[in-house]
Amino acid sequence: MIHHSTAPSFEFNDIGLADDQYAVRIRNLSHHFGTGDLKTQVLYDINLDLKRGQIVILTGPSGSGKTTLISLIGALRSAQSGSLKVLGKELVGLNKAQLVEVRRNIGFIFQAHNLFDSLTASQNVEMAVELLEDWGEKRAKAAEILAKVGLASRVHYKPKALSGGQKQRVAIARALVNEPALILADEPTAALDKKSGREVVTLMQKLAKEQGRTILIVTHDNSILDVADRIINLVDGRLESDQSLETFVNTHDPKSLDRRMFIM
């Protein structure tokens, strides 16, 4: 997975797994902003695989390139070099219209839930439902996913009448309503209190496992690390480590982690 003497490679060197068993496959991906004297390199030779059905947390200090990496995986930016395959599709070299098509198979959850204040919870989710011209069918699909995230009694509420955790649940419902194979979450708990944040990520974990979705979460929140199958650390644009949860806990200074959070 990572060509580095101290980094584990238990994912990168999997034998016998076909491409369709991965949601994301990255090889030698680098990225920069600007040109000439203003050129700034933000990602260096990234190699990474995300298996289908995994929940992966991406950590690292501010400015390490996490948001750039997740935006490239989400086809929100054009990849410049190397190879970046998402759901079997090579993204390097795609034009804007082709990137839009890739995004149709990805669910996005952000720190700012980006709900429309003038619309109800159901209407916010309905806006994301694709390929259905029948609004009655859209409404039914929205109500179904809102019930799954625990908001059956809030479908007609507007965002101002919902708590922060409930708003984020609507955002999760919107991300999941089209049954995407890949879900990208950028700091989904940053604006929530600890209890609401825990409820949100536990819900994401439950739905991902039930539906076989792959979830990549960018976070600074150590209290939610236990939902992950793997924890990847990005530092200065380079993958510094890629570990299972158990290995991560055992190799970190106990003073830096509240180990109570890992008691399930």
pLDDT digits (tens, 9 = 90+) for 6-18: 443 334 444 444 5
What per-residue confidence (pLDDT) applies to 9? 38
N- to C-terminal Cα separation, the chain = 28
Q: Which of 3-12, 82-91, 229-238 has the lowest mean pLDDT?
A: 3-12
Write down the pLDDT at residue 263: 37
Write down the domain spans for the chain: 52-79+95-262
User: Quick check: helix, strand or coil at residue 214?
Assistant: strand
Question: Average pLDDT for residues 112-119, to the nearest whole number?
Answer: 88
pLDDT of 112? 74
User: Looking at residue 102, what DSSP letter applies?
Assistant: H
Q: What is the CATH T-level fold of the domain 52-79+95-262, as seen in this structure?
A: Rossmann fold (3.40.50)
pLDDT, position 152: 92
DSSP 103-168: HTTEEEEESS----TTS-HHHHHHTT--S---HHHHHHHHHHHHHHTT-GGGTT--GGGS-HHHHH
Alpha helix locations (H) across the chain?
66-73, 96-103, 121-126, 135-148, 164-176, 194-211, 245-251
Residue 218 DSSP SS3: strand
